């Protein structure tokens, strides 16, 4: 009750007690990740900070999701690296600019909510594939080595990399420093001192690695610093050729789909972590489009909303979007006043941060749970991840979506086929009574051969009634035709498909063809109730 009696001015000042310290926590988490993702993407480290600044100052002030934080994402590092290698660093701005414009269009068309319809297994498989690809590639960077180009080559080279690391043939100083950084990342949260645990693990690990490198003067590669203004490059007209081919368009679509999906799924996760305003998905997609458009104009990395930074923001007690705007301001202040600090950071330490981040993208617990209860979803997750590793991000996601659609179609097309003998309908039984007529029925229900079949009789043995229920789609055609073709030719048959909720065109054609063939080869009558639709 005392809280309700506070003056309005005091109430307005309350969020700053939470948002200001939360912004510092997010800044400390974002700083090493921005730098590490930029290096892993094959671009200057400052470009990662530019994207983080835009994500904080610009996107952070826009409506959409109030607490999630945007910046460069580890999930796009692999795709950005491939694009830079294929088209050059000068084309990155064009690709990101086109991505932002496409996101703006999608936001205006209000398609943001449709991303919620994507299969969760495909999304987690996408993250797993990205995480494993990032992990495999950065393991080479731990040893100051260049990673192979493709996912299978990276996996195939791991035994040799491990052998060289153990025998000292792979830059022992870099390996030791990277392994030590990785150990700090893993075990930092288990420190007994609460004050030490308050420092984000990535910042502590990178800071310790930089301190050790400077103190001992280790012979390891370090981050190259060029200055913020020197690395910012507007899109060049010569880079427009990247948009001309199908590969460039595919890269833009991949950027857009992955960035949008990761943002909106992150929003859904963040909404479950707090009790504040819910996310407006269309507005959030528009905000991301504005941010990526600006990043493209600056030649920076593409941005998404990142769950690691967003979770840190919520857990630090943020109440409003002021915390994420302030985190962008701290990044700008650091880049402007202390750019030389980046030159002290060893690349192997950043590789360790990304190995740790990549491993956290692999949903091991979810995979175990799916294997126990939903094996079909586990297969979709695994196939999506493997497809991303063996092909590329865009193709892998398309394969995963296609498999999820096929699985859903298969599961929803349940078809029950029951065959029973009707008592009291032996040889010579009339066609009337409670049984349907056995004449050849057309779509209009005409009995063209009732008189002829009645004179022939019902054949030898009781009538076989075949009941169909559920959904008859082309996916169930083999089973349906196998059951019908096993029926004896000398027995009268009733085909009752009135229990079907859906009969697609392929099954209609197949049933019509089977009925015609059965009548042609059988001496016993066939009744189809209700009459099959006309096949065009």
| Cα 242 from Cα 238, distance rounded (Å) | 9
| Cα 472 from Cα 475, distance rounded (Å) | 8
Output the CA–CA distances (angstroms, integers) from residue 481 to 153, 411, 417, 506, 530, in the order listed.
45, 19, 11, 12, 19
pLDDT at 430 over 60: no
pLDDT at 520 over 70: yes
Pick the closest to residue 86 from 244, 227, 247 (CA basis): 247
pLDDT given at position 242: 64
Tokens of 525: 């009558």
Pick the closest to residue 412 from 482, 473, 480 (CA basis): 473
**Cα dihedral 399/400/402/403 (nearest 10):** 110
Q: What is the pLDDT of residues 4-27, one digit of tens each?
A: 444 444 334 446 777 888 888 788
User: Averaging pLDDT over each range in 44-53, 266-275, 427-436, which range is the top one?
Assistant: 44-53
* Other Cβ atoms closer than 10 A to 496: 17
Q: Which residues pair with 503 in a beta bridge?
A: 472
Helix 322-337 and helix 307-315, axial crossing angle in degrees, nearest 10: 110
| Cα 192 from Cα 526, distance rounded (Å) | 81
pLDDT given at position 458: 42
Q: What is the pLDDT of residues 328-358, one digit of tens each?
A: 999 998 888 877 787 888 888 888 888 887 8
| Cα 343 from Cα 346, distance rounded (Å) | 8
pLDDT at 497 over 80: yes
Pick the closest to residue 398 from 76, 100, 126, 120 (CA basis): 126
Tokens of 413: 């097309």
* Residue 444 φ/ψ, nearest 5 degrees: -85, 0
| Cα 139 from Cα 165, distance rounded (Å) | 11
| Cα 481 from Cα 308, distance rounded (Å) | 53
Q: Omega before 530 cis (within 30°)?
A: yes
Q: What is the pLDDT of residues 82-93, one digit of tens each?
A: 888 888 888 889
Pick the closest to residue 417 from 369, 479, 365 (CA basis): 479
| Cα 441 from Cα 519, distance rounded (Å) | 11
Q: What is the pLDDT of residues 388-418, one digit of tens each?
A: 888 876 678 789 888 988 888 887 878 899 9
The average pLDDT across 179-194 equals: 88
Q: What is the pLDDT of residues 279-312, one digit of tens each?
A: 888 899 999 999 999 999 999 999 998 777 887 7
Tokens of 371: 């294997």
3-state secondary structure of 88: coil
pLDDT at 426 over 60: no
Place of tokens 């939470």: 18
How confident is the prediction for the chain on average, in pLDDT?
Answer: 81
Q: What is the pLDDT of residues 247-286, one digit of tens each?
A: 788 888 888 988 888 888 778 767 777 777 888 888 999 9
Q: What is the 3-state secondary structure (H, E, C) of 383-410?
A: HHHHHHHHCCHHHHHHHHHHHHHHHHHH
Q: What is the pLDDT of residues 437-461, one digit of tens each?
A: 333 333 333 333 333 333 334 445 6
Tell me whether strands 463-472 and 493-503 are parallel, antiparallel or unpaired.
parallel
pLDDT at 433 over 50: no
Are 439 and 429 in contact by the 8 Å Cβ rule? The answer is: no
* Residue 494 φ/ψ, nearest 5 degrees: -110, 125
């Amino acid at each position: 009750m005392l809280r309700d009696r506070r003056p309005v001015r005091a109430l307005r000042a309350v969020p700053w007690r939470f948002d200001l310290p939360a912004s510092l926590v997010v800044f400390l988490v974002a700083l090493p990740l921005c730098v590490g993702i930029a290096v892993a993407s094959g671009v200057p480290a400052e470009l990662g900070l530019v994207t983080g600044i835009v994500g904080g100052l610009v996107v952070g002030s826009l409506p959409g999701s109030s607490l999630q934080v945007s910046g460069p994402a580890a999930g796009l590092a692999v795709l950005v690296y491939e694009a830079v290698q294929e088209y050059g660093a000068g084309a990155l701005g064009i690709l990101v600019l086109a991505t932002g414009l496409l996101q703006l269009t999608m936001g205006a068309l209000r398609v943001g909510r449709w991303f919620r319809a994507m299969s969760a297994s495909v999304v987690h498989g996408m993250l797993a594939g990205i995480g494993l690809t990032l992990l495999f590639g950065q393991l080479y960077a731990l040893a100051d080595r260049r990673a192979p180009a493709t996912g299978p080559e990276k996996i195939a080279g791991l035994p040799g990399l491990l052998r060289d690391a153990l025998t000292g043939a792979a830059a022992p100083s870099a390996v030791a420093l990277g392994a030590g950084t990785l150990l700090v990342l893993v075990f930092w949260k288990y420190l007994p001192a609460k004050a030490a645990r308050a420092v984000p693990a990535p910042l502590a690990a990178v800071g310790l690695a930089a301190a050790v490198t400077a103190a001992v003067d280790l012979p390891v590669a370090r981050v190259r610093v060029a200055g913020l203004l020197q690395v910012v490059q507007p899109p060049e007209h010569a880079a427009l050729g990247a948009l001309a081919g199908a590969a460039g368009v595919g890269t833009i679509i991949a950027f857009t789909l992955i960035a949008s999906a990761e943002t909106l799924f992150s929003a859904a996760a963040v909404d479950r972590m707090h009790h504040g305003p819910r996310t407006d998905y269309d507005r959030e997609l528009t905000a991301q489009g504005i941010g990526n458009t600006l990043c493209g104009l600056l030649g920076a990395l593409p941005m998404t909303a990142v769950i690691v930074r967003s979770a840190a923001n919520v857990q630090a007690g943020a109440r409003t979007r002021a915390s994420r705007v302030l985190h962008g301001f701290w990044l700008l202040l650091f880049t402007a006043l202390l750019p030389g600090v980046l030159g002290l950071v060893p690349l192997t330490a950043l590789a360790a941060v990304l190995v740790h981040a990549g491993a956290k993208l692999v949903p091991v617990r979810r995979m175990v749970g799916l294997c126990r209860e939903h094996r079909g979803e586990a297969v979709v997750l695994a196939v999506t991840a493997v497809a991303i590793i063996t092909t590329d991000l865009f193709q892998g996601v398309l394969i995963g979506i296609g498999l999820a659609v096929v699985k859903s179609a298969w599961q929803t097309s349940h078809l029950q086929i029951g065959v029973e003998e009707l008592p009291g309908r032996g040889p010579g039984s009339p066609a009337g009574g409670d049984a349907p007529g056995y004449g050849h029925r057309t779509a209009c229900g005409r009995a063209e051969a009732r008189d002829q079949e009645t004179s022939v009789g019902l054949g030898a043995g009781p009538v076989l009634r075949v009941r169909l229920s559920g959904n008859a789609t082309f996916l169930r055609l083999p089973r349906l035709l196998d059951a019908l073709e096993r029926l004896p030719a000398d027995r009268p048959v009733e085909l009752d498909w009135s229990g079907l909720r859906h009969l697609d065109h392929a099954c209609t054609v197949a049933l019509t063809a089977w009925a015609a063939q059965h009548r042609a080869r059988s001496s016993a009558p066939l009744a189809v109730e209700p009459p099959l639709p006309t096949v065009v």
